[in-house]
A and B are shown apart, each in its own frame.
Chain A
Amino acid sequence: MVVLLYGKLRQIAGERQIMASGTSVRSVLNDVFTQHPWLEEAVLMDGRIRTHCVLTINGQIIIDLDTPVGEADQIALFPPVAGG
Chain B
Amino acid sequence: MAGWKGTILEIDLDKHFSKVAPLNMDLARLFIGGRGLGARLLWDLVDPGVDPLSPENVLVFTNGPLTATGYQTSGRFSVSTKSPLTGTILDANSGGYWGMQLKRAGYDVLLVRGRSADPVWIEIRNGEVLFHDAGSLWGLGVFAVTDRLEQNNNRRNVLCIGPAGERLCKIASIMNDRERALARGGAGAVMGSKNLKAIVVEGRERPEIVDRERFKFMLYETRKLLSASPLTSQVLPEFGTVMLMNIMNNIGALATRNHQFTQFEGAEAISGEALTDKHLVGTASCWACPIGCTRISRTEHVESEGPEFESTWAFGAQCGIQDLEAIIEANSRCNDLGLDTVSAGSTIACAMELSERGYLAADLRFGQAESLHPLLEGMAFRNGLGGQMSDGSYLLAERCGHPELSMSVKRMELPAYDPRGMQGQGLLYATSNRGGCHMRGNMVGPEVLGLPKLIDRFQVQGKSSFVILHQNVSAAIDSLVVCKFTNLGVADEYFARVLSAVTGIHYSTGEMHRVGERVWNLERLFNLREGFSTADDTLPPRLLQEAPVNGPTKGWVVHLEPMLQEYYRGRGWDQNGVPTQEKLFELEIADLLEESRQAWTEQAQHPIL
Binding site for B on A (CB under 8 A): 4, 6-8, 10, 51-52, 54, 56, 58-61, 63, 76, 78-84
Contacts and interface: CB of A to CB of B under 8 A. Distances in A.
B364 interface: no
A81 B250 contact: no
Contacts of B444: 84
B243 A52 contact: no
A52 B451 contact: yes
Given A82-B235, A83-B240, A84-B484, 18 more contacts: A6-B271, A7-B272, A8-B234, A51-B450, A52-B449, A56-B250, A59-B250, A59-B252, A60-B552, A61-B454, A63-B454, A78-B250, A82-B241, A82-B243, A82-B488, A83-B293, A84-B241, A84-B438
A59 to B, nearest CB: 3
B308 A54 contact: no
B442 A81 contact: no
The CB with the most chain B CB atoms within 10 A, among A6, A54, A63, A83, is that of: A83
26 contacts: A7-B239, A7-B272, A7-B273, A8-B235, A8-B238, A52-B231, A56-B251, A59-B551, A59-B552, A59-B553, A61-B454, A61-B457, A63-B454, A76-B250, A78-B250, A80-B234, A80-B449, A81-B239, A82-B231, A82-B236, A82-B485, A82-B488, A83-B240, A83-B242, A83-B244, A83-B309
Interface string B431-449: 0000000110010100011
A83 B247 contact: no
A58 B450 contact: no
A56 B244 CA distance: 14
B230 interface: yes
B108 interface: no
Interface of B is mostly: helix
Closest 8 pairs (CB-CB, A-B): A59-B552, A83-B241, A81-B243, A82-B231, A80-B230, A83-B244, A59-B251, A83-B309
B471 interface: no
Contact of A81 (B244, B454, B484): B244
Nearest to A63: B454
Given A60-B251, A81-B247, A84-B484, A6 B273 contact: yes
A54 B448 contact: yes
Interface in B187-208: none
Contacts of B305: none
A80 B442 contact: no
B179 interface: no
Contacts of A7: 235, 239, 243, 272-273
Contacts of A10: 273
B246 A78 contact: yes
Nearest to B236: A82
B523 interface: no
A54 B247 CA distance: 9
Nearest to A52: B450
Interface of A is mostly: loop
Contacts, number: 91
B227 to A, nearest CB: 15
Interface string B232-273: 101110111111101100111000000000000000000111
Interface in B439-473: 439, 442, 444, 448-451, 454, 457
Nearest to A74: B250
B246 to A, nearest CB: 5
B329 interface: no
Contacts of A61: 251, 448, 454, 457
A76 B293 CA distance: 25
A78 B444 CA distance: 14
A83 B236 contact: yes
A81 B242 CA distance: 9
The CB with the most chain B CB atoms within 10 A, among A7, A10, A79, A82, is that of: A82
Nearest to B452: A51
Interface in B106-160: none
B146 to A, nearest CB: 25
A21 to B, nearest CB: 21
Contacts of A63: 454
B413 interface: no
B310 interface: yes
B309 A84 contact: yes
A34 B309 CA distance: 34
The CB with the most chain A CB atoms within 10 A, among B232, B271, B308, B449, is that of: B449
Nearest to A59: B552
A6 B247 contact: yes
A10 B484 CA distance: 28
Interface in B79-122: none
Nearest to A58: B552
Contacts of B247: 6, 54, 76, 78, 81
Contacts of B484: 84
A58 B438 CA distance: 26
B82 to A, nearest CB: 25
Nearest to B551: A59
Nearest to A50: B230
